[in-house]
Chain A
Amino acid sequence: MKVRLLQLAHARSGDKGDTANVGLIALRDEFYPLLLREVTAERVKKHFTGICQGEVERFELPNLGALNFLLHESLGGGGTLSLMTDAQGKTFSTALLRMEIEVADDEAETLGLRGATEN
């Protein structure tokens, strides 16, 4: 079933020039392997279509149960150049939490997850 990342993680985003970083942190340690497997850089890039014009890089922080994504060219030039309301990318965090991933029913049951459509 489809599960929204909002159920699995909390997040914090920031900026470095025209790049937004989004840190995705597992709400519980046991969710991390699922995030690691399913939230790939490629899928995140697809999720941010229309927002992220450049590449997406992914870094792993197993010690924190977290992934860090760099979304290049996503802040309209960034900093003082950008005309965006969110020129600092501070709401990209929850934008990523909208993303849905596919989870096998038995894994979902083990982890105690509800389907995205039930939210």
Chain B
Amino acid sequence: MKEKIRIAAGQGFWGDLPDAPVRQAEGGPIDYLMLDYLAEVTMSIMQKQKARDPDAGYARDFVPLMKQILPTCVDRDIKVVANAGGVNVAGCAAAVREVARELGLEGKLKIGIVTGDDILDRIDDLIARGIELRNMDTDESLSTVRDRIQSANAYLGAAPIVEALNEGAQVVITGRATDTGLTLGPMIHEFGWAANDWDRLASGTIAGHIIECGAQCSGGNCQYEWQSIPDLANVGFPIAEASPDGTFVITKHEGTGGRVNVPSVKEQLLYEMGDPHAYITPDCVADFTTIQLADAGADRVRVFGIKGRPATDSLKVSISYSSGFKAVGTLVYAWPDAYEKAKAADKILRARLDRLGLKFEHVLTEFVGANATHGPLAGEPSRDLAEVQLRIGVRGNDRKAIERFTKEIAPLILTGPPAVTGFAGGRPKVEEIVAYWPALIPKSEIQSKVEILEV
């Protein structure tokens, strides 16, 4: 058993710095590289891609990344764990295998494929059997959106990732899985933690929560003494250095920018947190009120003392469904009286939309530069503002109405208040809204499956 393993976060979301995973693999010793590709509604995009092309439906960026770093990973024995599989994990694995063969790695690499999360084809059957998949936030019945559902996936935990690693996989690709499971899985595999070792499972879970947003714990988006955080241009993504006893150190590669300290780790711990006593995952329930932090040298924070409780009987399910359309238009008004001009433009625009008889479910006006982020808390804007951006958005089920709205923005330049600009982006795009429906499903209903693909 290794004394310590180093799990590096490669990206905090799909769309994070493209170089980050490469710099993690090349910038110092690591054992695992974990990558999160799936935001809440990403699966719906992937389902659409698969409907157009049966070979598609996974995070395409993952494949060229593998081409770039697989030789390094094989040389340095770095294993990769990623939920890049989307709704076509086998397709993703096949594409990675092809790239691995091109790199001369035939016979030298095993790819783990984790599936079982996709329940899109089972919804009617589940409902017929009394598994209602009611909305966790509103308790609404799924029947209200049944005909608009685009994807449905259960969040798998660490167990199938452990199984894949146990079977020798060096690259593990999953569909929907918890971010924390991507970090916890390697720990269970290396240290042999039991499925009911709640304290250690909670520790691994919390390590996952800390590093899953990438640099957001190593100096990025950090409020504590932000101006003194060095060299963010070269920010080091975090690494969890985990020990068999469940304690771990959060750190980053030597020579990188950013800063890992107790405050930066605390900020990430509080991110997207509900009830801290009960952070529920498929693997355990972690208690964030038991976490102890201590500085352990420059850019090193030790995390210990964590307690956990037994996992629940359910898995979370993320369902995505179509929910109308939206569009947002913006224009910039310059001094003097920038705010007054922007408000006047908003009034004119709304009067025109009314006159056209356009109906929307929601219309929102914001004044960026004055009070868009803090609303009434920002107080009255200064009369001397250099510029204010009028930002107006509409949402509704009538696509034609949204489209018509988008044609009313540019005309304000020649038919509205003066000193206006910021229209070079062209007509705003009409966006189809895919909304998120969180639900619960009994664990007994989901069987994960692990296959090994030899390159």
Q: Which of B27-41 contact A (CB under 8 A)?
A: 40-41
Q: Which among A6-14, A33-41, A103-111 touches the partner chain? A: A6-14
Contact assessment for B263 and A14 in the assembled complex, using a CB-CB cutoff below 8 Å: no
Asked if B368 is at the interface (CB within 8 A of a chain A CB), the reply is yes
Contact assessment for A23 and B270 in the assembled complex, using a CB-CB cutoff below 8 Å: yes
Contact assessment for B291 and A51 in the assembled complex, using a CB-CB cutoff below 8 Å: no
Given contacts A16-B274, A50-B376, A63-B289, contact A83 B267 (CB under 8 A): no
Contact assessment for B289 and A62 in the assembled complex, using a CB-CB cutoff below 8 Å: yes
Residues of B within 8 A of A86 (CB): 372-373
Contact assessment for A10 and B223 in the assembled complex, using a CB-CB cutoff below 8 Å: yes
Q: How far is the CB of B331 from chain A (nearest CB, A)?
A: 15
Given contacts A63-B292, A68-B270, contact A49 B323 (CB under 8 A): no
- Report Cα–Cα, A24/B272, bound state, in Å: 13
Contact assessment for B273 and A83 in the assembled complex, using a CB-CB cutoff below 8 Å: no
- Report Cα–Cα, A76/B376, bound state, in Å: 15
Contact assessment for A80 and B221 in the assembled complex, using a CB-CB cutoff below 8 Å: no
- Report Cα–Cα, A16/B368, bound state, in Å: 24
One of A12, A59, A66, A91 near B374 (C-beta < 8 A) = A91
Asked if A53 is at the interface (CB within 8 A of a chain B CB), the reply is no
Asked if A115 is at the interface (CB within 8 A of a chain B CB), the reply is no
Contact assessment for A23 and B368 in the assembled complex, using a CB-CB cutoff below 8 Å: no
Contact assessment for B263 and A15 in the assembled complex, using a CB-CB cutoff below 8 Å: no
Asked if B147 is at the interface (CB within 8 A of a chain A CB), the reply is no
Given contacts A12-B270, A80-B433, contact A63 B290 (CB under 8 A): yes
Nearest chain-A residue to B376 (Cβ)?
A50
One of A12, A49, A70 near B221 (C-beta < 8 A) = A12
Residues of A within 8 A of B269 (CB): 23, 64
Q: Can you name 10 extra interface pairs (CB under 8 A) apart from A21-B271, A27-B224, A68-B273?
A: A17-B438, A21-B272, A25-B267, A64-B293, A68-B270, A80-B41, A80-B435, A80-B436, A81-B435, A83-B393
Interface size band for B: 35 or more
Contact assessment for A61 and B41 in the assembled complex, using a CB-CB cutoff below 8 Å: no
Main secondary structure of the interface of B (DSSP, over half): mixed
Q: How far is the CB of B358 from chain A (nearest CB, A)?
A: 15
- Report Cα–Cα, A106/B305, bound state, in Å: 36
Given contacts A12-B221, A17-B137, contact A98 B374 (CB under 8 A): yes
Q: How far is the CB of A44 from chain B (nearest CB, A)?
A: 12
Contact sample, A vs B, 21 pairs, CB 8 Å cutoff: A10-B224, A11-B223, A12-B271, A14-B272, A17-B436, A21-B270, A21-B273, A47-B377, A51-B377, A64-B266, A76-B362, A80-B41, A80-B436, A81-B433, A83-B326, A83-B393, A85-B391, A94-B223, A95-B373, A95-B375, A95-B377
Contact assessment for A14 and B293 in the assembled complex, using a CB-CB cutoff below 8 Å: no
Residues of B within 8 A of A60 (CB): 289
One of A47, A68, A79 near B40 (C-beta < 8 A) = A79
Contact assessment for B267 and A12 in the assembled complex, using a CB-CB cutoff below 8 Å: yes
Contact assessment for B436 and A79 in the assembled complex, using a CB-CB cutoff below 8 Å: yes
Q: How far is the CB of B278 from chain A (nearest CB, A)?
A: 10
B contact residues vs A (CB 8 Å cutoff): 40-41, 137, 221, 223-224, 263, 266-277, 288-293, 305, 323, 326, 328, 362-364, 366, 368, 372-377, 391, 393-395, 433-436, 438
Q: How far is the CB of A92 from chain B (nearest CB, A)?
A: 8
Nearest chain-A residue to B362 (Cβ)?
A83
Q: How far is the CB of B55 from chain A (nearest CB, A)?
A: 27
- Report Cα–Cα, A81/B434, bound state, in Å: 8
Q: How far is the CB of B316 from chain A (nearest CB, A)?
A: 12
- Report Cα–Cα, A12/B266, bound state, in Å: 9
- Report Cα–Cα, A84/B272, bound state, in Å: 18
Nearest chain-B residue to A18 (Cβ)?
B137
Contact assessment for A81 and B270 in the assembled complex, using a CB-CB cutoff below 8 Å: no
Interface string of A61-75 (1 = CB under 8 A from B): 111111010100000
Residues of B within 8 A of A81 (CB): 323, 395, 433, 435
- Report Cα–Cα, A116/B375, bound state, in Å: 20
Q: How far is the CB of A48 from chain B (nearest CB, A)?
A: 8
Nearest chain-B residue to A14 (Cβ)?
B272
Residues of B within 8 A of A49 (CB): 376
Contact assessment for A91 and B373 in the assembled complex, using a CB-CB cutoff below 8 Å: yes
Pairs of residues from A and B, 10 with the lowest C-beta to C-beta distance, nearest first: A23-B270, A83-B393, A14-B272, A83-B364, A12-B267, A91-B373, A10-B223, A50-B376, A85-B372, A95-B374
Residues of B within 8 A of A65 (CB): 266
Nearest chain-B residue to A17 (Cβ)?
B137
- Report Cα–Cα, A17/B136, bound state, in Å: 10
Residues of B within 8 A of A95 (CB): 373-375, 377
Nearest chain-A residue to B225 (Cβ)?
A10
Contact assessment for B376 and A79 in the assembled complex, using a CB-CB cutoff below 8 Å: no
Residues of A within 8 A of B291 (CB): 63-64
Nearest chain-B residue to A99 (Cβ)?
B377
Contact assessment for A98 and B377 in the assembled complex, using a CB-CB cutoff below 8 Å: yes
